[in-house]
Amino acid sequence: MADTPRFDDTIEDPISPEWLWEALDAARTSPDFMAKCRDAALAAHDISQLRHESEEMGFACTPFHDYVGDLARRRGLPLDRVMRWLDITNLECLDRAAIRPLARLGQDLGLSAREVCVLLRASLAVQAKYAALPLPAHRGPDRATVTPLVACSLTLEEIEGHYPPALQDHLRMICREVEAQFEAGDAHS
Amino acid sequence: MDYDELARRLQAREERAFLDFAEAFARPARALFLSLGLPPFEAEDLVSVCMSDIPLKKVHRYRARTDGSFRAWTFTVLRNAAMDWKRRNRGKRVPLVDDVAQAETVEVMPRVERVAAVQEALLELNPGDRQIVELRHLGENRTFEEIGEILNISAATARVRHHRALNRLEELLRSDSRIHLKDTAATESSGQG
């Protein structure tokens, strides 16, 4: 980076004491530093609002992007600042490189690794056309006693039993990536 | 700035409070990280992460105490973030600072306090004048012609407002003891991003 210009081609800066220039130099940053910090702060605000909504709404057996979209709609928030900050281009993308940012979002929303994994499993089931929305309710004999999260997981297990091997592999990859993100996130928090 | 009031507003999830947090702490945090030996690019990257993570994940743990304000608490969290970064990146065990008073008296604080004083004075300027100082001196190194184009004013007007803003800054900082503290930081970076 070039030194701070004390003068430009045509106009002189005012004469100020050296200590003021030194103080300003100490506070100098790269050009986009403050903009990036403001973006981070606004994304944090939006995530905090979504997190609050998630705490009120509780778990829902639905694809990940629908869950997050519902939170945003209920709060009246656009998701663009959050997605830009977390480097997410598409909430529905389930490629390997896309999973950790989605898991990070889930983690920031206060979801557990298991909850995020189940939401992403629901995304995969719907995208691979092994299930339609709304997902069927769990019908086992324990249906009155299990939590919504467990019931959703059991429903998905039934569906996933019909997956071909390649889709099974993709499913395992998703869960591994989610676990890895949570472990990394926990270590840094 | 009333830092404990800022903490309360963050805990209430007020949007403006998140921005105020970044305005108040980003530059001092960068100075702290540089003084602790982080490379400039990494320091700025870690600051931006902290500007998200502290209000989002940590501020709910803050309770107003008699032995330290939210400002001191935030510097402790920032310092620990830097120590975590160093531990992750160098494989060295570095003792964490978990005491507010300790975080305020370590040798790197003169440089950090100088930047904090500038930042607090900037926040006393009106937003337009603050933006001119930022554009001219604190990041983008713009000419008055460029500043005029950005703010839709003439270069001459930009120059006059810049002059006025610097005079006001000088007034605000002249008697601020933090500006004239001797910087004893062992690790001094050029601070270029």
* B61 min Cα distance to partner chain A (Å): 13
pLDDT in tens, A32-45: 999 999 999 999 99
Amino acid at A141: P
Q: What per-residue confidence (pLDDT) applies to B67?
A: 55
The β-bridge partners of B101 are none
pLDDT in tens, B140-170: 788 999 999 999 999 999 999 999 999 999 9
Q: What is the DSSP letter of A5?
A: P
pLDDT in tens, A127-144: 999 988 787 777 777 777
The larger pLDDT score, comparing residue B134 to residue B66, is at B134
Whether B22 sits inside 8 A of A13 (CB atoms) is no
pLDDT in tens, A53-66: 999 999 999 999 99
- Whether residue A134 is preceded by a cis peptide bond, meaning omega within 30 degrees of 0, is yes
pLDDT band at B68 (very low <50, low <70, confident <90, very high): low
The torsion angles phi and psi of A72, rounded to 5 degrees, stand at -65, -45
Q: For residue B143, give both structure tokens.
A: 């000419």
pLDDT over threshold 70, residue A89: yes
pLDDT over threshold 80, residue B99: no
Q: What per-residue confidence (pLDDT) applies to A2?
A: 43
Whether B162 sits inside 8 A of A14 (CB atoms) is yes
The answer to whether the beta carbons of residues B128 and B161 sit under 8 Å apart is yes
CA-to-CA separations, A21 to A25, A28, B17, B113, in angstroms, rounded: 6, 10, 30, 16
- Burial class (CB within 10 angstroms; exposed 0-12, middle 13-18, buried 19+) of B76: buried
* Number of residues that this document lists for chain A: 189
Q: To which H or E segment does residue A55 belong?
A: helix A33-57
**A16: closest CA among A27, A8, A24?**
A24
For chain A, the farthest-separated pair of C-alpha atoms sits apart, in whole angstroms, at: 83
Mean pLDDT for chain B overall = 83
Is this complex's ipTM strictly greater than 0.85? no
Q: What per-residue confidence (pLDDT) applies to B46?
A: 96
Q: How many CB pairs under 8 A join A and B?
A: 148
What is the SS3 assignment for A7? strand
Whether B55 sits inside 8 A of A48 (CB atoms) is yes
